[in-house]
């Protein structure tokens, strides 16, 4: 307690009472992220507004031997921003300024607390946009996107966050501030920016981000293909890619997901269908119209009973509203849900969905599938009641079995949500002891004392404890 009091006094001198949270009833706000089952209440929450303040908070934590973790808007899905035991959360929500939009060079500089969608809105008057578009883009922050290497529906064409980050400002674990990369693009030397993106906050705290901006497409064409069998929808996806067509987005929602979306949002997805594909093409209209015709032909040849073209921007908006808000809509079907993020080779998506269904039936759990099917990124959503005896344990078991199945099919543990706490004990399924040792050695180059977001990514040798049942926490 003496240590905490000394640290709190120093932090108050730096930030004032308003920007230091120490009362338990206020700290509860920071105990969880978007959907991870685990919880952890921090010792305190600091709310810096400048890189200098972040640096000084980190120096104070180092001086007192207190671990820390950076946090944005808390929409993460793998426990990456949960506080380490006895740790401090450094919340970056007040560092939310777009510092520069350099339209001639198609780039922007932002602070980590900027909400993803706000950058594209600010860039629109210049005819530009920021391409990575996580489904939570209306709430998730750019710093979190960098930490998790976030993707989104348009990853298929444009790639994930790392493909769009040019340079970073980073506060290291000793409080020193460094810069990586170059605002003009590829620079000589090691790609330290690429190393930091996706490191889940274990190398330091990102306080400024320089990203690429892209021209707004001249034309967009959005299709909804309706199927009576998931296998047919997946076969159509493989056929589209095999034909040399790379849509901007290619998404799948299964029957249970459709039911949830329509019961809550009523966007026009057909009830009774086993699956729908949401397909979007972007570019020159002279190029995308022939591609649209080919895609419609391929979809019908693989069993689509209907292929609908969004007639205008309002119809397109509704179709995407259904996809972007599908996770939240599932809250209408159960008190809680748990989101997974495995990856399988595209051709094995039908098998993966069948196995997910079998796991759910055996464990007595309903599981919906909302997939970035074009690149095999699976998002099974396990519906459950946190108050039902034994149900959280079955959810944990289902999650482990599903992710293990993804590895067995030649896939990966995560496509965009990160490892965090959720998947750390499963890392040996994908990496050897030597692999993990090399990763730890790299981490210690940036953070020798391992004070920066400890307990994440790497296996501890003990299973995560299921969270205690809570009344509708933050899951719905």
Closest CA to 133 of 113, 153, 118: 153
Q: What is the separation of C-alpha 119 from the centre of its chain, rounded to a whole number of angstroms?
A: 17
What percent of the chain lies above the pLDDT cut of 70? Answer: 96
What per-residue confidence (pLDDT) applies to 1?
Answer: 57
What per-residue confidence (pLDDT) applies to 328?
Answer: 85
3-state secondary structure 24-53: HHHHHHHCCCCCCCCCCCCCEEECCCCHHH
What per-residue confidence (pLDDT) applies to 462?
Answer: 61
In the chain, residues under CATH classification 3.30.70.2740 are 334-418
Rounded distance between C-alpha atoms, residue 297 and residue 245, angstroms: 13
In the chain, residues under CATH classification 3.30.70.2190 are 219-329
Please give the torsion angle defined by the CA atoms of residues 25, 144, 115 and 106, in that order, rounded to the nearest 10 degrees. Answer: 160
Class of 334-418 in CATH: alpha beta
Closest CA to 109 of 100, 97, 122: 100
Would you write out the chain's pLDDT as a tens digit for each of its 476 residues? Answer: 566 789 999 999 999 999 999 999 999 999 999 866 789 999 999 999 999 999 999 999 999 999 999 999 999 999 999 999 999 999 999 999 999 999 999 999 999 999 999 999 999 999 999 999 998 999 999 999 999 999 999 999 999 999 999 999 999 999 999 999 998 877 788 999 999 999 999 999 999 999 999 999 999 999 999 999 999 999 999 999 999 999 999 999 999 999 999 998 999 999 999 999 999 999 999 999 999 999 999 999 999 999 999 999 999 999 999 999 998 898 889 999 999 999 999 999 999 999 999 999 999 999 999 999 999 999 999 999 999 999 999 999 999 999 999 999 999 999 999 999 999 999 999 999 999 999 999 999 999 999 999 999 999 986 554 443 333 333 22
**201 CB burial (10 A radius; 0-12, 13-18, 19+):** buried
- pLDDT (tens digit, 9 = 90+) per residue, 162-216? 999 999 999 999 999 999 999 887 778 899 999 999 999 999 999 999 999 999 9
Q: How many residues does the chain have?
A: 476
What per-residue confidence (pLDDT) applies to 183?
Answer: 85
What per-residue confidence (pLDDT) applies to 470?
Answer: 32
Q: What is the separation of C-alpha 179 from the centre of its chain, rounded to a whole number of angstroms?
A: 24
Starting at the earlier edge strand, list the strands of the sheet with 380-384: 306-309, 219-227, 275-283, 249-254, 366-371, 380-384, 336-339
Class of 219-329 in CATH: alpha beta
SS3 assignment, position 202:
coil
């Amino acid at each position: 307690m003496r240590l905490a009091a000394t640290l709190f006094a120093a932090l108050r001198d730096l930030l004032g009472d308003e920007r230091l949270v120490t009362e338990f009833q206020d700290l509860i706000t920071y105990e969880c992220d978007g959907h991870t089952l685990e919880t952890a209440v921090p010792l305190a929450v600091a709310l810096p507004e400048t890189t200098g303040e972040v640096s000084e908070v980190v120096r104070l934590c180092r001086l007192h031997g207190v671990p820390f973790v950076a946090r944005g808007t808390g929409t993460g899905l793998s426990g990456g921003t949960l506080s380490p035991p006895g740790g401090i959360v450094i919340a970056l929500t007040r560092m939310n300024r777009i510092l520069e939009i350099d339209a001639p060079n198609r780039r922007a500089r932002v602070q980590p607390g900027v909400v993803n969608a706000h950058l594209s809105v600010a860039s629109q008057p210049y005819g530009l946009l920021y391409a990575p578009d996580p489904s939570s883009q209306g709430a998730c922050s750019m710093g979190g996107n960098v930490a998790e290497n976030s993707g989104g529906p348009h990853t298929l064409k444009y790639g994930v966050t790392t493909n769009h980050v040019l340079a970073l400002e980073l506060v290291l674990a000793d409080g020193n501030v460094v810069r990586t990369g170059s605002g003009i693009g590829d620079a000589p030397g090691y790609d330290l920016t690429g190393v930091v993106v996706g490191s889940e906050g274990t190398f330091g705290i990102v306080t400024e981000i320089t990203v690429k901006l892209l021209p707004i497409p001249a034309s967009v064409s959005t299709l909804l293909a309706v199927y009576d069998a998931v296998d047919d929808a997946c076969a159509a996806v493989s056929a589209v890619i095999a034909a040399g067509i790379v849509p901007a987005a290619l998404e799948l929602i299964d029957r249970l997901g459709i039911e949830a979306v329509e019961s809550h949002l009523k966007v026009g997805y057909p009830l009774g269908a086993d699956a729908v594909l949401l397909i979007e093409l972007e570019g020159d209209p002279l190029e995308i119209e022939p591609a649209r015709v080919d895609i419609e032909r391929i979809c019908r040849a693989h069993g689509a009973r209907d292929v609908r073209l969004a007639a205008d921007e309002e119809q397109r908006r509704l179709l995407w509203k259904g996809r972007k808000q599908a996770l939240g809509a599932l809250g209408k079907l159960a008190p809680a849900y748990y989101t997974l993020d495995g990856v399988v080779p595209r051709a094995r998506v039908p098998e993966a969905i069948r196995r997910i269904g079998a796991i759910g039936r055996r464990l007595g759990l309903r599981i919906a599938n909302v997939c970035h099917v074009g690149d095999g990124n699976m998002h099974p959503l396990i519906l459950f009641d946190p108050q039902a005896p034994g149900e959280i344990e079955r959810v944990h078991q289902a999650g482990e079995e599903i992710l293990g199945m993804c590895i067995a099919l030649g896939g990966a543990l995560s496509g965009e949500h990160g490892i965090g706490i959720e998947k750390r004990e499963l890392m040996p399924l994908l990496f050897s002891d030597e692999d993990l040792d090399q990763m730890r050695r790299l981490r210690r180059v940036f953070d020798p004392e391992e004070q920066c977001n400890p307990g994440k990514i790497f296996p501890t040798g003990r299973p995560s404890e299921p969270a205690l049942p809570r009344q509708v926490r933050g899951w719905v």
